[in-house]
Structure 1
Amino acid sequence: MSSLPKLLITGASGFTGKHACYYFSKAGFEVIAVTRTHSFNEQIQTEHCDLTNKEAVRRMIKKIKPQFLLHLAGQNHVGQSWVDPVSSLEANFLSTLYLIEGLRHENPTCKIIVVGSALQFDPKDISTLKHPYSLSKTLQVLIAQSWEGLYDLPIVIAKPSNLIGPGTSNGVCSIFARKIVEMEVKNAEKVLEVSNLHAQRDFIDVRDAVSAYEILLTGGKSGEVYDISSGKSHSLKDVINMFRTLTTVEFDVKSSIESQVEKKVEIIPFKLAGLGWKPIVPFKSSLIDTLNFYRKNEKI
């Protein structure tokens, strides 16, 4: 029997999940990767579970009894949340409730990291609600904070900004990179489409985010919300111009909004910095690694 601390990682087959599983398996944890159907290599134990099935979640928690939970699973596509809002609520809200409740009954000392979103809205001002995805992620965080307070569970909230880096993702940088590689390899139409070139985003490399999750698992304070961000703002125009320097392909850009300028985003990760964390992957390196991922996996 392993003496390593057991870490349950949900959403293990996703963009962040894959990075997290390999990172923590090298960092001295016994990783149990939770997915619906996918499996990892033989070095990483896989547990198949539908997290929207309350009884299945309870059985899994009772079987594994993890010391740590990194909850990454969920529906993270804004567009899909408009098409099927109920599924988004089930995937983001109910799965979190079932996991926390399962741990409350079977292993209440388990340290829990619930990963929220920068797209949460302010429940005090319903006008800030822009889409069902935001509702689902806000409810996810509210239930985690409520159970931490009501039942004194060790739950920490992580709130990453826009994650970038190598791997398949729904993020805008990944979408741009994939289209550019299709231009390079498949002679696809040499046009990038964007809604607003002046939209501002804080981008953080997924590998930096995963290192932040490790710090929160070991040193994060229960009940606290920790921003995970670069502290720097980039417009989508800046992103596209950077991509232009990383490819020999010349392409046009179509923007549906030409003049709407957004304020720079300022998300400073003060609390995490106080725990000794800082991002180390440069923005340009993240974009290079994203492009190279798709160049090596052009069939994705």
Structure 2
Amino acid sequence: MQRALVTGGNGFVGKYLVRYLQSSGSQVAVLSSSEGHEENNNATFYLADIRDRGKVQSAIQEFKPDHIYHLAAISAVGNSWQSPRLTYEVNVFGTLNVFEAAMNLPSPPKIVNISTAQVYARSSALLSETSPVCPENPYAASKLMSEFLNVQFHRHAEGGIVTARSFNHMGPGQSTDFVLSSIAKQFVEMELGERQRRLSVGNIHVRRDFTDVRDVVAAYSLLMGKGRPNEIYNVCSGRALSIAAIIQEFERISGLRVEIDTHPEKRRIGEFAEVCGDPAKIQAAIGWKAVIPLVTSLQDLLVYWRSALRQSSGQDVPARALHPAL
């Protein structure tokens, strides 16, 4: 049985990854700076901020993982502008703490380090792993810095670090800080009569490459098994859609027609017009590709918010999600 440690295992993606690994037979531990690990109650839990070198080292030495999935990070662009120093402390020095503790074990584990597509320079072309990088916000800069930490571990005969550059992902349980979850929640509020049929959004003309979180965690697991250390892999669908087109799909699924209210404060600083990844390398290397259709992801987002909002108001909960991994 493989022993897998997930840093940031209480986060949106982390919870899905923990369940995925457990269903695959791994013994899982979660290292998180926040409690509330009831959903991961079959996992060993370590309460630790990755900035705390001693606690990170203690947890890793105690659990002795074969694999580490490093997800813990300040991941919201807006937060990174508000707290740039904290972003660098967590995403760079915290990552170094994880890497050093892992690589100093007698038998170092393999690590999948989660980075971001935001490290790439602006481009209307498909972004491959060799595309130019040019981060334009503190979050992206910190993640690119964390990628370069690999250099001091290149010579390790065991273990090694694989980098996953993840593009936009979505799924049930995601915070409304992220656009598709925010849109889905607003549609359900309209269904329940809690708001007028006016959708509050930012720039609906940007185009993004979205992948369902359940496909994303499958990619991370396959990268752990088959990804080559010191290599970078895009985790993406290879298809970009505008937010406007996705709103139209929400309208079709829900049967509601909405008016659009665009708000300047919902626009991100320096927002790219289009971001789309090239998944050729990851498909060739490990045989992974995104398989959950967009319509299923959007339907499951609506199901999630119907359940959450109706439970909060004491109403009956509707049928479960379409995809069995929810």
- What is the Cα deviation at residue 225 of structure 1? 0.4
Q: 1:42 to 1:112 in 2, by over 3 A?
A: same
Q: Aligned letter for 2:288?
A: W
1:12–1:33 contact (8 Å) kept in structure 2: yes
TM-superposed CA distance for 1:212, in Å, is 0.7
The equivalences for 1:1-300 within 5 A come to 4-36=1-33, 37-40=35-38, 41-121=40-120, 128-143=134-149, 145-149=150-154, 151=156, 153-169=159-175, 170-185=177-192, 187-255=194-262, 265-274=275-284, 275-298=286-309, 299=312
Report if the CA contact (8 A) 2:103-2:153 is conserved. Answer: no
Q: Which moved more, 1:199-208 or 1:105-114?
A: 105-114
**Counterpart AA for 1:65:** K
Aligned length: 290
One-letter amino acid matched to 1:268:
D
Task: Report the CA distance shift for 1:42/1:196 in structure 2 as closer, same or farther (over 3 A).
Answer: closer
The structural deviation recorded for 1:22 is 0.6
**CA shift at 1:256, angstroms?**
5.6
Matched residue, 2:317: none
Classify the secondary structure of the residue corresponding to 1:119: helix
Instruction: Give the match's secondary structure for 2:185.
Output: helix
TM-score (norm 2): 0.83
Amino acid at match of 2:171: G
Distance 1:183 1:212, change over 3 A: same
Kindly provide the CA deviation profile for residues 9-48 of structure 1, in whole angstroms up to 9, marking residues without a partner as x. Answer: 1111111111101110010110112222222354222221
Q: CA deviation at 1:172?
A: 1.2
| Larger displacement relative to structure 2 (185-194 or 269-278) | 185-194
Question: In the TM superposition, what whole-angstrom CA distance separates every residue of 1:138-172 from its partner, at most 9, and x where no partner exists?
Answer: 112221x3233265651000111101111123321
Percent identity for Structure 1 against Structure 2 = 30
Give structure 2 stretches of 5+ with no counterpart: 122-131, 265-271, 314-326
Give the secondary-structure state (helix, strand or coil) at the position aligned to 2:290.
coil
SS in 1 for 2:139: helix
Q: Deviations over 1:72-110 (max 9, x none)?
A: 111111111111111111221122110000012124520
Shift of 1:287: 0.8
Q: Which amino acid aligns with 2:187?
A: I
Tell me the amino acid that sits aligned with residue 20 of structure 1: L
Task: Tell me if the contact between 1:121 and 1:138 (Cα under 8 Å) persists in the aligned partners.
Answer: no
8 Å Cα contact 2:118-2:135 kept in structure 1? no
Distance 2:212 2:3 in 1: 25
Q: Distance in 1 between the 2:106 and 2:26 partners?
A: 18
Q: CA deviation at 1:203?
A: 0.3
1:147–1:178: structure 2 CA closer, same or farther, 3 Å change rule? farther
- Asked if the contact 1:115–1:157 (Cα under 8 Å) also holds between the matched residues in 2, the reply is yes
Q: Provide the C-alpha distance between the structure 2 equivalents of 1:127 and 1:16, rounded to a whole number of angstroms.
A: 24
Q: Which moved more, 1:187-196 or 1:6-15?
A: 187-196
Gaps of 5+ in 1: none
> Within 1, Cα distance between the matches of 2:223 and 2:106?
19
Shift of 1:268: 1.8
| SS class of match (1:163) | strand
Contact 1:162 1:171 in 2 (8 A): no
Does the residue aligned with 1:116 lie in a helix, a strand or coil? Answer: strand
- Matched residue type, 2:241: H
Tell me the CA shift for residue 193 of structure 1: 2.9
